[in-house]
Structure 1
Amino acid sequence: MRIALVQQPATADLADNLARGLAAFDRAADAGADLVAYAELAFHPFYPQRHATPDLLAHAEAIPGPTVEAFQARCADRGVVCILNLFERDGDATYDTSPVIDADGALLGRSRMLHITEYEAFHEQGYYAPGDTGLPVYDTVAGRIGVAICYDRHYPEVMRGLALAGAEVVVVPQAGAVGEWPDGLYEAEMQVAAFQNGYVTALANRVGQEERLTFAGESFVCGPDGRVVARAGAGTEEILLADVDLTALADSHARRLFLRHRRPELYADWLAR
């Protein structure tokens, strides 16, 4: 599988953001990508830099809606799988949501961020209701894909749950700012998740200076042995391409040993606390 992670800035010009995102999709497809993934809230400014207001909440859109429909047409035209991340409205509720579109343009489903953080410049609890979609894994032409949106990747239960559901690749749409965490910690976290669970992790990060935050870029892909196989630049607008061999997952430590030797009868009470 060839994975493409689109690392692009977003501005207040929503039409331009979408146009650049579609153009990046075409460039990735031209480069042989089987799966194209985007960062968190890829086609909007990062609204949670400020507390939520009715004007900002009005930017949430339905799924399916204009953005998803534009990518459905492009996926069908190019025969490529796509993982988006949008500010979704569903009735009176709004969510941080990743629609998953197969290579024939079919909307396979949507994963909503489960855990919602709240701290300075990340005022997300005013924007997003806690997700209610669980941990779906999608059977796509490219492989079995799971999604862990930004904050969810910090929860080992999420990363293990996707493995138990059969994920071969876990895509992580992220909004990670410069200096937000110690150097290398995001990367190490995804390396460990890949190694412990025997799948590929692919983290697509935002990039660029916005109102209160500068997003770092440095998107990356980890193999099931925990090694980083590709990494984008810091602060650069680019498409990161990474080739991964999903047939090699069966030989990973996790699939040969760790998952086989689990003792779930011991964990139920602990995990329920």
Structure 2
Amino acid sequence: MKIALIQHRATADRAANVRRGLAALEEAAAAGADLVVYPELAFTPFFPQHRGGPAARAWAEPVPGPTTGAFQEAARRLGVVVVLNLYERDGDHAYDTSPVIDADGRLLGRTRMMHITQYEGFYEQDYYTPGDTGAPVYETAAGRIGVAICYDRHYPEYLRALALGGADLVVVPQAGAVGEWPEGIYEAELQVAAFQNGFFMALANRVGAEDVLTFAGGSFVVDPAGRVLARAPFGEEAILYADVDLRQCAASPARQLFLRHRRPDRYTGGAVRAAPEGQGGDVPYRQADSQAR
């Protein structure tokens, strides 16, 4: 399977951004892509860089809606699977959402970002309701695909849920800024996650200078052994292509060993520390504290 990650900047002109996104889809399909993935909020400015207000919902749209409809038609015509990311409005709530479109143009579903951050430049709790879709895995023409939207990639339990759901590839629509985290940590984080869970991971980052943030680019693809297979340039628009063989997942250490040897019935939580002198075995913190008192 050939993956294409669209590393683009976005302006305040949503219609122009969508047109550029559709042109990138045409280009990727002509290059033989089976799956095309877009970065976080691919067709709008990254508005969470500012505190939210009453006008924030102006960027939100329904799913299905005009953007998904345009890409559904293109996906059907081109025979390509598409993963988008946009600001979804649903009644009184709004979500950071990735619609997943199959190669026949069907909207298979949507993943809503589960974990919502809040700090300078990323005031996302001002805009987003925490997602309620869980960790779905989509059976697409390109394979079994899960989505971890930006901040969700930091949560091992979420990525493990995608692995247990049968994902062979997890795509990450991302809005990662220059200097946001220590250099190399994004790659290391996904390399470890791919190795521990036995799937490919593909991170599509946005790029470009906006009001507060400058987005870094550097989109990349990791295999189930934790190796970086392909990387886009930093600081410039690009389409990153990577050929992946999803059959490698079955032979990965995670599928052959780690997932088979899990003991979820024993993961009850609660830290332990060494028993007081003269007592045998470890003592849970709560018990040890009680004895100390």
Instruction: Tell me the TM-score range normalised by the shorter chain.
Output: over 0.9
CA distance in 2, matches of 1:17, 1:58: 16
Deviations 1:65-117 (A, max 9, x none): 00000000000000000000000000010000000000000000000000000
Pairwise mapping of residues 246-261 of structure 1 onto structure 2 (< 5 A)? 246-261=246-261
Query: 2:120 aligns to what?
Result: 120
Pairwise mapping of residues 44-63 of structure 1 onto structure 2 (< 5 A)? 44-63=44-63
CA distance in 2, matches of 1:108, 1:270: 36
One-letter amino acid of the structure 2 residue matched with residue 264 of structure 1: P
Deviations 1:23-48 (A, max 9, x none): 00010000000000000000000000
CA drift at 1:53: 1.7
Please state if 1:152 is matched with 2:179.
Answer: no
Query: 1:191 aligns to what?
Result: 191
CA distance in 1, matches of 2:18, 2:250: 38
Identity %: 68
Query: 2:269 aligns to what?
Result: 270
Q: Classify the secondary structure of the residue corresponding to 1:260.
A: coil
Query: 1:67 aligns to what?
Result: 67
Pairwise mapping of residues 96-115 of structure 1 onto structure 2 (< 5 A)? 96-115=96-115
CA drift at 1:254: 0.5
One-letter amino acid of the structure 1 residue matched with residue 215 of structure 2: F
Query: 2:244 aligns to what?
Result: 244
Deviations 1:234-263 (A, max 9, x none): 011010000001111111111111111111
CA distance in 2, matches of 1:14, 1:141: 29
Give structure 1 regions of 4+ aligned residues with deviation exceeding 6 angstroms: none
Query: 1:138 aligns to what?
Result: 138
One-letter amino acid of the structure 2 residue matched with residue 145 of structure 1: I
Q: Classify the secondary structure of the residue corresponding to 1:225.
A: coil
Query: What is the aligned length?
Result: 270
CA drift at 1:179: 0.3
Please state if 1:36 is matched with 2:36.
Answer: yes
Point out where structure 1 has 5 or more consecutive residues left out of the alignment.
Answer: none
CA distance in 2, matches of 1:115, 1:183: 23
CA distance in 2, matches of 1:137, 1:148: 11
Point out where structure 2 has 5 or more consecutive residues left out of the alignment.
Answer: 271-293
CA distance in 2, matches of 1:258, 1:48: 38
CA distance in 1, matches of 2:56, 2:159: 31
CA distance in 2, matches of 1:216, 1:270: 37
Bigger radius of gyration: 2
Deviations 1:138-187 (A, max 9, x none): 00000000000000000000111100000000000010000000000001
Query: 2:208 aligns to what?
Result: 208
One-letter amino acid of the structure 1 residue matched with residue 261 of structure 2: H
Deviations 1:195-221 (A, max 9, x none): 000000000001000000000000000
CA distance in 2, matches of 1:21, 1:58: 20
CA drift at 1:270: 2.5
CA drift at 1:56: 2.4
One-letter amino acid of the structure 1 residue matched with residue 165 of structure 2: A
CA drift at 1:58: 1.6
What TM-score do the two structures reach when normalised by structure 2? 0.91
One-letter amino acid of the structure 1 residue matched with residue 173 of structure 2: P
Query: 1:164 aligns to what?
Result: 164
CA distance in 2, matches of 1:63, 1:256: 38
CA distance in 1, matches of 2:176, 2:211: 14
Query: 2:90 aligns to what?
Result: 90
